[in-house]
Chain A
């Protein structure tokens, strides 16, 4: 149970983010909860590809033991594909976060308050 520590952390952070979205009334705090869920998902996708005793998948000055064949020692590298997908996910989180915060600024300018139970007037 203690060996699955990254996955347990991911579950706890996701549940905390979900509770923030459900139970808080300020719009900026809801945006913070969404950002927490996105960060937990990035942690999950990177924790899926770890090999025990692994090194980074980079060949520049790799810390392999001398005298071992490179082909056999390259099997100690962790998997590189989920790390590449996590990069895309981080950039998309930044883009949606910037748009959400801009919308919050405009809502405050128009309504005068950030309480989500009072912003209910849809035109049309």
Chain B
């Protein structure tokens, strides 16, 4: 069941901007309001706009559901893995092992307001990115499952 002409044309034009804004919110989570969960929800909206505007049968052939399930699980496993690496430095679980070191994301930040630097933050940008991937894939999978259940319900009843 496709939507009308206005909705499909809008769904053709808008998704690149929504996806770009969502990835910006994820990547700058340690400088501006936002972060992993918020950016993941915005990015999922960009993809769901296309799914809602077109009929489910057209979209189900174009999106590979196995890849989305794999990326969602991988996102959570890598978040736990980044927490485990702190054991190599002799600290407890989930310690920030990148802050104030010459590795990437390790610049020192003095107290007080300053225009933000993207190179700061310790392990926080890594957490933001992988939690954003998990939320994005998870929300897309939920909507695809519900739409497939709707199709099957109408066909059987």
A/B touching: CB–CB < 8 A: yes
Residues of A within 8 Å of B111, CB to CB, are 70-71
By the criterion of a CB under 8 Å from any partner CB, how many residues of chain B are at the interface?
19
Q: Are B146 and A70 in contact (CB under 8 A)?
A: no
Residues of B within 8 Å of A91, CB to CB, are 37
Q: Are A62 and B146 in contact (CB under 8 A)?
A: no
Per-residue CB proximity of A50-91 to B under 8 Å, as 1/0?
000000101111101000001100000000000000010001
Residues of A within 8 Å of B35, CB to CB, are 87
Residues of B within 8 Å of A61, CB to CB, are 113, 115-116
- Identify which of B37, B115, B149, B153 contacts A87 (C-beta below 8 A): B37
Rounded to whole angstroms, the CA-CA distance of A87 and B36 in the bound complex is 11
Rounded to whole angstroms, the CA-CA distance of A109 and B150 in the bound complex is 9
Q: Are A60 and B32 in contact (CB under 8 A)?
A: yes
Residues of B within 8 Å of A102, CB to CB, are 145-146, 149
Min C-beta distance of A9 to chain B, whole Å = 23
Per-residue CB proximity of B103-116 to A under 8 Å, as 1/0?
00000000111111
Grouping DSSP codes into helix (H, G, I), strand (E, B) and loop, the A interface class, with mixed when no group exceeds half, is helix
Smallest CB gap from B30: residue in A: A60
Residues of A within 8 Å of B13, CB to CB, are none
Min C-beta distance of B103 to chain A, whole Å = 23
Min C-beta distance of B52 to chain A, whole Å = 15
Whether, in the assembled complex, B142 has its beta carbon less than 8 Å from a beta carbon of chain A, the answer is yes
Min C-beta distance of B139 to chain A, whole Å = 8
Q: Are A70 and B113 in contact (CB under 8 A)?
A: yes
Q: Are B157 and A105 in contact (CB under 8 A)?
A: no
Residues of A within 8 Å of B142, CB to CB, are 98
Closest 8 CB pairs of A and B: A70-B112, A62-B113, A60-B116, A109-B153, A59-B113, A60-B31, A98-B142, A105-B149
Q: Interface of A with B (CB < 8 Å)?
A: 56, 58-62, 64, 70-71, 87, 91, 98, 101-102, 105-106, 108-109, 112
A-B contact pairs, 14 of them (CB 8 A): A56-B33, A58-B32, A60-B113, A60-B114, A60-B115, A60-B116, A61-B113, A61-B115, A71-B111, A87-B37, A102-B146, A106-B149, A109-B156, A112-B157
Contacts A56-B33, A60-B114, A102-B146 supplied; 7 other A-B pairs, CB < 8 Å: A60-B113, A62-B113, A101-B146, A105-B146, A105-B150, A109-B157, A112-B157
